[in-house]
Chain A
Amino acid sequence: MKLRHLTSSSTGRPLKDQFLEGRQFSARALTAFLIILAAIFLLSLRYIYLQVINYEEFTARSITNQVRIVPVAPNRGLIYDRRGRPIAENRPAYRLELVPEKVVSVEQAIDRLGLIVELPDDALEKFQESQKRYRNFDSVPLKFNLTEEEVARFAVDRHQFAGVEIVPYLARYYPYGELLTHVLGYVGRLDVDDLNRVDEGNYRGTTHLGKDGIERYYEDVLHGISGIEKIETNAQGRILKVLERENPVHGDDLILALDVQVQQAAWDALAERPGAIVAIDPNDGSVLALVSKPAFDPNLFVHGISSKDYSAILAAPGRPLFNRPLLGGYEPGSTLKPFLGLGGLESGVVTAQDEVFSSGAYYLPGVSRPYRDWKKGGHGRVNMLGALEQSVNTYFYQLAYDMGIDRMHDYLDQFGFGKPTGLDLLGEKSGVLPSRAWKRGQFEEPWYPGETIIAGIGQGFNVVTPVQLANAVATLSNGGTRYKPRLLYASKHAGNDQADKVHAPVQVQVPVTDRANWDLIQAGMRLVVHGERGTARAIKPESGFEIAGKSGTAQVAAQAVDEDMDESTAQHLRHHALFIAYAPFDKPSIAVAVVVEHGGGGSREAAPVARAVIDAWLSQELAQ
């Protein structure tokens, strides 16, 4: 705009011209207004960009802001014994959880929490390890099973701990403690390695899973299916309301075939001696008792065992962590004799009437080494019945010699020796049922005749587990039906009223050539308890029912086996006492295998234990 200025004549400077200034101002004001208009227009474009073009993205982010999806852990199924006694329970407890995102420094928070709540020294490490499976905004458990006092103390100081919360949950509890440890196993804190064997998605809200025993074997049914909760949270992460909930399917309740009373009786009968007891119902393969002693309190492992407690268990005598019925390999000793005897009869190598003269020592042709009887001077002439009643070694040396190792192997194999029984627990050992092929495979050595002779009395290479032995006795007592032994009796699906029975599958039907042979062996075992010269006549019941049994002694050190060892023999050098039995004789409902480690003689040490187990079971059955 061209302006012609009026100038002052005295100064030469232009005078103020209100009219011109007014026009100049209006021009500037208009310019300014246009600039504002343009600015508001650009700003509006920004809002259109946010609210129209990016509407969906921001809506999604607003929803994620507001709604959190949290897993809802299902309740773990309970476990009962066959009489409905709860043996694994869920108890309400409190745990401390921390959201890493909401805490300025995890280290500091843990330090400060340590003043209120008792935290183990490695709390931080454990936390960091378990944090790996969580997202940064997930709540990570820091300490389980808070005491009431700790809960109260935290409640008072809660305002100081943003991002830390006390969460109620159900904690596993084993009311019978060590009595059932080696059956139930225990649950423990889920760690990164466990994620390889479970569906991670289903375990998002789960903190514990079965680490051992039944808890581990039936983990998938006990766990259930995780639910989902959509919750609305505010900026502080406080839950305002539950928007949607997909309920979890709780885990199945399990009913075990095990009878706690029988288990307790077996446990008590072992007293302070380490050992193993397995009792099986010959009618269906149900495991009635499975004892491994010593044991430990599984409840210690549920909340994370302290290193002090753990070293105490490791240092305890008798290896409490060792699950003897499954893992313990014992020489069967004379407990193998009934099976061998039956093999001899069924294969026609001997007859019931065939007699052998026991002089106290047996010699292989052309070999000077004696194979001894346990009774000095021998037992004289005995047939199968007498040989079983008095456990005459010479008879079985001769029988083994006549049968040969491979025929022995093939027959005993049908009773499940030398391989896992398939019991519903993990880690079962096979034991050893020797044969020429086995020895060649194992040692690349030929079989020697002497090895056949000692195999005749269950020594040498033979190794059985207590579960195998009990299952073989059950098979023998029921006339040859070998089941896969089962701890699980029935399971109850969440929401169902009725439990569904689980049937133990039949593994093998041992062929029966002549029923009389079986009767004869069983009669021989009856004489062990009821015969006048029976090795275990001390446990003969006064009335009511009859027991069939067989004692055995497993060598620990290489020394001659006497049926009853000297009291003075050092404890750890004493042989393991074994006893197998079933009862009632005419209609068996329980088959037992007992191992008393370093007990000495089978009849004296192990037989009374078997009797106690049988009594506990039959009194229960009669009460029914």
Chain B
Amino acid sequence: MKRVIPGWVKWPQLDIPLLLGLLLLMAFGLVVLYSASGEQMDVVYRQATRLGVGLAALLVLSQVPPHILRIWTPWLYALGIVLLLATWSVGVGRGADRWLDLGLFRFQPSEIMKLAVPMMMAWYLHPRHLPPEPVSILVSSAIIIVPAVLIARQPDLGTALLVAVSGGFALFLSGLQWRVIFGMVALAAAAAPALWLVMHEYQRDRVRTFLDPESDPLGSGWNIIQSKIAVGSGGLTGKGWLNGTQSRLEFIPERHTDFILAVLSEELGLLGVLFLFSIYLFIAGRGLYVASMARNTYARLLAGSLSLTFTVYVLVNAGMVSGLLPVVGVPLPLVSYGGTSVVTLLAGFGILMSIYGHRNFIR
């Protein structure tokens, strides 16, 4: 592709369709947030600021060539592990030791791992022969499992799951044999009862409630029931923006964070939900397209697993809000109110942009 840009101008090489998709999603998210926050403009401003910070991170990362990222990768991963261990001793937070107070701001080390784990996987698999051989598979598993276990112990099952899944996607995209994949799935199914035993009581409660929400309609089942009522009563076209009764009257729990999709479903109906899904699908598809255009293994695997992980957020959150999945703290990406996940996600897309921008360089 020939470009008529003077050589001395270093324009950021951005994937415009992907960027437009992200901007559309964020704008739509802010509109929903305005309603979900009870028309609090300051909440919208704060979220917009975060999105701005995230976009800045996106722009910065888009200028860092993938081979530089690759050099940083092991150090970033190591830093993430060290910080996770640090939260054990000095973590702050409501019940869960997820946060690290760095003086200026509080910080969730597990967020680093959302990027560091797929990066590390790509880094590790990059020079290896693919599809991965048994030794590679074992090492890869260790790369995934160590941080996942550390995060799950915090306890933050949702993030642990997302981190593990992002690493798993790298393995999947590297061409892991199907028989190995099915073998692992079977193993995981067999391990489920063991998982139950090591789960925290509140995590078990969530699973129990998920299996039968009506058993405790005022306690832990409340969230799922009220969320389903909100979604269902939205109907095809919704009750109208700012008109959701379930949301206005505070029946929806966490209505501007994890359950913001319930507000959207109630006010904008099935059409709003499908519109949102389309944007996500477009972004994921575009991300995979960018990945497949990359010229080396590291870039491909990283871009691919980041795109796929993004969709997992959507699937888990939408499944949770509609009562298909247990309540795990997974936000609706770029729509839910909340700081670090927005920045991490946009940083991830910055890496995608970089891979897109440097697709023609082979290192």
Query: What is the CB-to-nearest-CB distance from B32 to chain A, in angstroms, rounded to a whole number?
Result: 15
Query: What is the CB-to-nearest-CB distance from B137 to chain A, in angstroms, rounded to a whole number?
Result: 15
Query: What is the CB-to-nearest-CB distance from B228 to chain A, in angstroms, rounded to a whole number?
Result: 6
The answer to whether B249 touches A235, judged by C-beta atoms less than 8 angstroms apart, is yes
Residues of B near A54 (CB, < 8 A) are 232
**Contact partner, A32, options B173, B245, B314, Cβ 8 Å:** B173
Query: What per-residue 1/0 map shows which CB atoms of B253-297 lie under 8 Å from chain A?
Result: 000000000000100011001100100110011001001100111
Q: How many residues of A contact B (CB 8 A)?
A: 44
The answer to whether B250 touches A234, judged by C-beta atoms less than 8 angstroms apart, is yes
Whether A26 contacts B232 in the complex (CB less than 8 A), given A51-B273, A101-B218, A236-B250, comes out as no
The yes or no answer to A46 lying at the interface (CB within 8 A) is yes
Chosen A-B contacts, 10 in total, with CB atoms closer than 8 Å, are: A18-B295, A25-B175, A32-B172, A40-B281, A50-B231, A51-B232, A51-B265, A52-B235, A55-B232, A235-B226
CA gap between A46 and B320 in the complex, in Å = 11
Closest CB pairs A-B (n = 8): A58-B232, A62-B233, A234-B249, A50-B232, A58-B233, A51-B270, A235-B250, A24-B175
* A residues 1-41 in Cβ contact with B at 8 Å: 13-16, 18, 21-22, 24-26, 28-30, 32-33, 36-37, 39-40
The answer to whether B315 touches A43, judged by C-beta atoms less than 8 angstroms apart, is yes
The yes or no answer to A126 lying at the interface (CB within 8 A) is no
The answer to whether B131 touches A24, judged by C-beta atoms less than 8 angstroms apart, is yes
The answer to whether A58 touches B229, judged by C-beta atoms less than 8 angstroms apart, is yes
Whether A28 contacts B172 in the complex (CB less than 8 A), given A50-B232, A59-B232, comes out as yes
The answer to whether A55 touches B292, judged by C-beta atoms less than 8 angstroms apart, is no
The yes or no answer to A240 lying at the interface (CB within 8 A) is yes
Whether A65 contacts B246 in the complex (CB less than 8 A), given A39-B315, A52-B270, comes out as yes
**Contact partner, A29, options B246, B273, B304, B318, Cβ 8 Å:** B304
Whether A47 contacts B292 in the complex (CB less than 8 A), given A28-B172, A39-B315, comes out as no
The answer to whether B169 touches A235, judged by C-beta atoms less than 8 angstroms apart, is no
The yes or no answer to B230 lying at the interface (CB within 8 A) is yes
**Contact partner, B292, options A25, A40, A52, Cβ 8 Å:** A25
CA gap between A20 and B209 in the complex, in Å = 47
The answer to whether A37 touches B281, judged by C-beta atoms less than 8 angstroms apart, is yes
The yes or no answer to B130 lying at the interface (CB within 8 A) is yes
Query: Which residues of A approach B to under 8 Å, CB–CB?
Result: 13-16, 18, 21-22, 24-26, 28-30, 32-33, 36-37, 39-40, 43-44, 46-48, 50-52, 54-55, 57-59, 61-63, 65-66, 101, 232-236, 240
Residues of A near B250 (CB, < 8 A) are 234-236
CA gap between A63 and B246 in the complex, in Å = 9
The answer to whether A46 touches B322, judged by C-beta atoms less than 8 angstroms apart, is yes
Closest to B225 in A: A61
Given contacts A28-B175, A51-B265, A236-B250, could you give 6 more A-B pairs where the C-beta distance is less than 8 Å? Answer: A16-B127, A37-B281, A55-B236, A62-B230, A66-B245, A234-B251
Closest to A51 in B: B270
CA gap between A39 and B236 in the complex, in Å = 21
Classify the secondary structure of A's interface with B.
helix
Query: What is the CB-to-nearest-CB distance from A113 to chain B, in angstroms, rounded to a whole number?
Result: 21
**Contact partner, A46, options B128, B131, B308, B324, Cβ 8 Å:** B324
Closest to A13 in B: B129
The yes or no answer to B348 lying at the interface (CB within 8 A) is no
The yes or no answer to B311 lying at the interface (CB within 8 A) is yes
Residues of B near A101 (CB, < 8 A) are 218
The answer to whether B233 touches A59, judged by C-beta atoms less than 8 angstroms apart, is yes
The answer to whether B280 touches A24, judged by C-beta atoms less than 8 angstroms apart, is no
The yes or no answer to B234 lying at the interface (CB within 8 A) is yes
CA gap between A240 and B245 in the complex, in Å = 12
Query: Which residues of B approach A to under 8 Å, CB–CB?
Result: 127-131, 169, 172-175, 218, 226, 228-236, 245-246, 249-251, 265, 269-270, 273-274, 277, 280-281, 284-285, 288, 291-292, 295-297, 300-301, 304, 308, 311, 314-315, 318-319, 322-324
Residues of A near B284 (CB, < 8 A) are 33, 36
CA gap between A173 and B226 in the complex, in Å = 46
Closest to A31 in B: B172
Query: What is the CB-to-nearest-CB distance from A495 to chain B, in angstroms, rounded to a whole number?
Result: 36
**Contact partner, A33, options B172, B235, B288, B318, Cβ 8 Å:** B288
Residues of A near B274 (CB, < 8 A) are 44, 47
CA gap between A123 and B308 in the complex, in Å = 62
**Contact partner, A43, options B127, B277, B285, B292, Cβ 8 Å:** B277
Query: What is the CB-to-nearest-CB distance from B231 to chain A, in angstroms, rounded to a whole number?
Result: 5
Whether A55 contacts B235 in the complex (CB less than 8 A), given A24-B131, A235-B251, comes out as yes
Residues of A near B130 (CB, < 8 A) are 16, 21, 24
Query: What is the CB-to-nearest-CB distance from B135 to chain A, in angstroms, rounded to a whole number?
Result: 12
Closest to A240 in B: B249
Residues of A near B234 (CB, < 8 A) are 51
Residues of B near A58 (CB, < 8 A) are 228-229, 231-233
Closest to A102 in B: B218
Residues of B near A52 (CB, < 8 A) are 235-236, 270
**Contact partner, B319, options A16, A43, A62, A232, Cβ 8 Å:** A43
Residues of B near A13 (CB, < 8 A) are 129
CA gap between A57 and B273 in the complex, in Å = 19
Closest to A55 in B: B235
**Contact partner, B169, options A18, A24, A32, Cβ 8 Å:** A32
CA gap between A29 and B287 in the complex, in Å = 10
Residues of B near A46 (CB, < 8 A) are 319, 322, 324
CA gap between A83 and B107 in the complex, in Å = 81
Residues of A near B172 (CB, < 8 A) are 28, 32
Query: What is the CB-to-nearest-CB distance from B311 to chain A, in angstroms, rounded to a whole number?
Result: 5
Query: What is the CB-to-nearest-CB distance from A39 to chain B, in angstroms, rounded to a whole number?
Result: 5
Residues of A near B218 (CB, < 8 A) are 101
Closest to A101 in B: B218
CA gap between A14 and B318 in the complex, in Å = 43
Whether A61 contacts B229 in the complex (CB less than 8 A), given A29-B292, A66-B249, comes out as yes
Closest to B244 in A: A62
Closest to A62 in B: B233
Closest to A64 in B: B229
The answer to whether B315 touches A50, judged by C-beta atoms less than 8 angstroms apart, is no
The answer to whether A65 touches B249, judged by C-beta atoms less than 8 angstroms apart, is yes
Query: What is the CB-to-nearest-CB distance from B206 to chain A, in angstroms, rounded to a whole number?
Result: 19
Closest to B131 in A: A24
Residues of B near A233 (CB, < 8 A) are 249
Whether A26 contacts B249 in the complex (CB less than 8 A), given A46-B322, A55-B235, comes out as no
Closest to B304 in A: A29
